């Protein structure tokens, strides 16, 4: 039986990582007990300040120095005695881990204590040590030299990257005098952070990591972190390496920022997309960029311009997919990956791998293979498993798309919460069926509205004919995840259903694959439906999709069998072929040999 959190963290017989997890749960619970967002933030900072002070004091005792911790200038409340004691004990516990882990361990406690809205606004998620180590390795593979190069993290958080970078620089300088090494490291590092408390954490934890060097050199580390919004244009020098885990999330841009980053924007702006553009601006003409980001930029329409810019300005060197999303980042649902790019004049063929975290300080790297990327902004086809390495090469050569078959993809027109007054629970002469995502099932189309806030009918006004669907189409669920058995779940919206009801309205959690001119369609909707529901096409989609959404853009980009093969498939379906026979046929079209 698991011990209560308070009992687990205090038990020295329990391993430190388990005790740390209990500590983090206690810190989150304490923060959530605060009555307002403002008090939650101030208490989070006070708690972490106490933890960091204790961590610093423990290191000072270990290294027999009287160095004082850098003062924290923000106002924070006085903690209750028992809370202060808990925070201090947590700082002492974190000192049992390697110094390069402190930024993640303390930073993670800070972020789980933050108000939810602020954490979302900041996009703050701290990077586990094995991912940091791997990204530093990828930076070296891309050509960065830790012996001489300069480094910036433009969203440095709690120093999860800068401290390990400094330690690797120090390691490369072994043999030089402490004074020489100290001066060189101080000149070659820079961080920018918008959160003043996180910036203070970086300063303290960076100096803590270098404490033995500071003692030997008889100097304190100068302030290498600037509190600022890195996205706001300013005169900043360029660097040999731009590294980090930039914040994630959509944001609204004012006119000046949208104009500044116009080259990489296509519709909605995402924080990490802007930071990727910024990284290219900060990298020297032969510089390297190494980032940890969500995978959505690989295929999403909003990142079309960014993908094109990346291949125009840099050479991708490596893509490492993070295999275990659960337990890697707190409260993050998005798939993530490590990427490294270079501007160096060298022949590079990008390598795709999978990184499997193995505890706090280890990870297994499984190489998948090389990849060829488009330079037009179209989705990048990257296999996620070793088994898909040759498969992705095959689908790169498949030129047919839904448009070639006479179909287009659009999103369901109805955003239900904008039409609440028109929703109805019962049918009448002036209502139409409202089709929700749950109507698409593995067994086909089953009209249903059984989820919370869902009702089966809607009253359409005379000025809303654009909301009505009257021709049969293929419905595809829009929100799925990589853990599901299927990313693509499709069903035909039957013509008989539409004729009987005089039409229907499709909610926007569904995509509609439809033929604008049915006479010009090469195959019937039921053939498109059968194709999309095969394992082979689902596998192909996973090589394109980088987010939980199944977007119309990605469906339109999906590599498909030739028109001739689709016609053959339709004839097979017409003869009553079994599901297994359809699966085998489509698999063969995608070069998959089934045993």
How far apart, in Å, are the Cα atoms of 524 and each of 254, 356, 405, 515? 46, 43, 10, 9
The span from the CA of 588 to the CA of 117, in Å, is: 49
Instruction: Give, as one character, the DSSP assignment of residue 454.
Output: -
Average pLDDT over residues 439-457: 93
Note the pLDDT of residue 361: 80
pLDDT digits (tens, 9 = 90+) for 524-546: 999 999 999 999 999 999 888 87
More confident site: 120 or 113: 113
Instruction: Give, as one character, the DSSP assignment of residue 549.
Output: B
For residue 6 the two structure tokens come to 């308070």
pLDDT digits (tens, 9 = 90+) for 379-415: 998 888 887 888 888 888 899 999 999 999 999 989 9
Using the structure block, give the residue that is written with the tokens 């960076």.
206
* CATH code for the structural domain at 402-589: 3.90.220.10
List, in order, residues 6 or more apart from 326 with CB less than 8 Å away: none
Q: Average pLDDT of the chain?
A: 90
pLDDT digits (tens, 9 = 90+) for 14-69: 688 888 889 889 989 998 998 898 899 999 999 999 999 999 999 999 999 999 99
Dihedral sign for Cα atoms in the order 113, 116, 122, 126: positive
Reported as a pLDDT band with limits 50, 70 and 90, residue 334 is low
Note the pLDDT of residue 4: 47
Note the pLDDT of residue 324: 66
For residue 491 the two structure tokens come to 């069903």
Reported as a pLDDT band with limits 50, 70 and 90, residue 13 is low
Reported as a pLDDT band with limits 50, 70 and 90, residue 454 is very high
The span from the CA of 246 to the CA of 111, in Å, is: 14
List, in order, residues 6 or more apart from 177 with CB less than 8 Å away: none
Q: Is the pLDDT of residue 175 over 90?
A: no
For residue 41 the two structure tokens come to 């933030």
Beta strands at 504-506 and 473-477: parallel, antiparallel or unpaired: unpaired
- The torsion of the CA quartet 53, 54, 56, 60, rounded to 10 degrees, works out to 130
Sequence spans of domains, the chain:
127-155+230-397, 402-589
For residue 329 the two structure tokens come to 């980042």
Q: Is the pLDDT of residue 118 over 80?
A: no
Least confident of 201-215, 389-403, 568-582: 389-403
Q: Is the pLDDT of residue 235 over 80?
A: no
Outline where DSSP puts E strands in 425-545.
431-435, 440-441, 444-445, 457-459, 468-469, 473-477, 490-493, 504-506, 510-514
* CATH code for the structural domain at 127-155+230-397: 3.40.50.150
For residue 139 the two structure tokens come to 């930076």
Equal fold, 127-155+230-397 vs 402-589: no
The span from the CA of 281 to the CA of 154, in Å, is: 11
The span from the CA of 467 to the CA of 477, in Å, is: 18
SS3 state at 290: strand
Note the pLDDT of residue 55: 97
How many beta carbons lie within 10 A of that of residue 77, not counting itself? Answer: 12
Q: Percent of the chain at pLDDT above 90?
A: 70
- Predicted TM-score (pTM) of the model is 0.85
Are the C-beta atoms of residues 380 and 296 closer than 8 Å to each other? no
Q: Is the pLDDT of residue 462 over 80?
A: yes
Q: Is the pLDDT of residue 319 over 50?
A: yes
List, in order, residues 6 or more apart from 462 with CB less than 8 Å away: none
The span from the CA of 525 to the CA of 337, in Å, is: 36
């Amino acid at each position: 039986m698991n011990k209560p959190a308070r009992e687990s963290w205090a038990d020295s017989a329990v391993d430190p990582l388990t005790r740390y997890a209990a500590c983090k749960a206690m810190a989150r619970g304490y923060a959530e007990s605060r009555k307002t967002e403002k008090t939650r933030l101030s208490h989070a900072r006070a708690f972490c300040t106490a933890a960091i002070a204790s961590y610093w004091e423990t290191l000072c005792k270990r290294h027999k120095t009287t160095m004082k911790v850098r003062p924290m200038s923000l106002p924070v409340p006085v903690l209750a005695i028992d809370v202060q004691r808990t925070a201090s004990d947590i700082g002492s516990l974190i000192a049992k881990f390697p110094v390069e882990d402190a930024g993640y361990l303390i930073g993670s406690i800070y972020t789980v204590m933050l108000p939810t809205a602020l954490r979302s606004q900041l996009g703050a998620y701290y990077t586990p040590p094995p991912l940091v180590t791997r990204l530093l390795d990828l930076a070296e593979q891309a050509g960065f030299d830790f012996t001489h190069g300069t480094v910036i993290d433009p969203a440095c958080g709690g120093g999860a990257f800068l401290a390990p970078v400094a330690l690797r620089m120090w390691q490369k300088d072994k043999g030089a005098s402490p004074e020489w090494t100290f001066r060189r490291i101080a000149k070659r590092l820079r961080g920018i952070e918008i959160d003043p408390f996180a910036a203070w954490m970086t300063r303290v934890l960076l100096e803590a990591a270098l404490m033995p060097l500071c003692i030997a050199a008889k100097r304190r580390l100068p302030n290498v972190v600037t509190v600022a919004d890195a996205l706001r244009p300013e005169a900043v020098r360029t660097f040999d390496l731009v590294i980090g885990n930039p914040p994630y999330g959509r944001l609204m841009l004012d006119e000046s920022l949208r104009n500044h980053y116009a080259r990489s924007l296509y519709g909605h702006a995402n924080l990490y997309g802007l930071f990727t553009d910024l990284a290219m601006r900060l990298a020297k003409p032969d510089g390297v960029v190494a980032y940890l980001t969500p995978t959505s930029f690989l295929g999403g329409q909003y990142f079309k311009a960014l993908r094109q810019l990346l291949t125009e300005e840099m050479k991708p060197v490596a893509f490492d997919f993070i295999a275990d999303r659960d337990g890697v980042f707190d409260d993050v649902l998005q798939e993530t990956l490590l990427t490294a790019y270079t501007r160096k004049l060298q022949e590079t063929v990008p390598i795709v791998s999978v990184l499997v975290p193995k505890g706090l300080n280890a990870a297994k790297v499984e190489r998948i293979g090389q990849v060829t990327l488009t330079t037009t902004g179209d989705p990048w086809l990257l296999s996620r498993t070793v088994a898909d390495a040759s498969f992705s090469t095959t689908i790169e050569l498949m030129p047919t798309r839904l448009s070639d078959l006479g179909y287009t993809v659009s999103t369901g027109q109805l955003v239900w919460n904008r039409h609440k007054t028109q929703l109805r629970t019962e049918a009448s002469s002036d209502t139409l069926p409202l089709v929700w995502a749950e109507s698409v099932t593995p067994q086909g189309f089953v009209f249903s509205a059984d989820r919370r806030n869902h009702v089966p009918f809607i009253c359409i006004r005379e000025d809303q004919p654009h909301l009505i669907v009257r021709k049969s189409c293929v419905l595809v669920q829009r929100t799925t995840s990589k853990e599901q058995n299927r990313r693509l779940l499709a069903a035909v919206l039957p013509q008989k259903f539409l004729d009987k009801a005089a039409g229907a309205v499709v909610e926007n959690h569904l995509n509609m694959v439809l033929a604008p001119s049915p006479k010009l369609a090469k195959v019937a909707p039921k053939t498109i439906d059968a194709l999309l529901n095969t394992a082979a096409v689902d596998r192909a989609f996973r090589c394109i999709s980088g987010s939980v959404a199944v977007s119309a853009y990605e469906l339109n980009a999906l590599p498909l069998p030739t028109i001739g093969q689709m016609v053959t498939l339709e004839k097979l379906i017409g003869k009553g072929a079994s599901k297994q026979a359809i699966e085998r046929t489509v698999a063969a079209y995608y070069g998959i040999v089934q045993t």
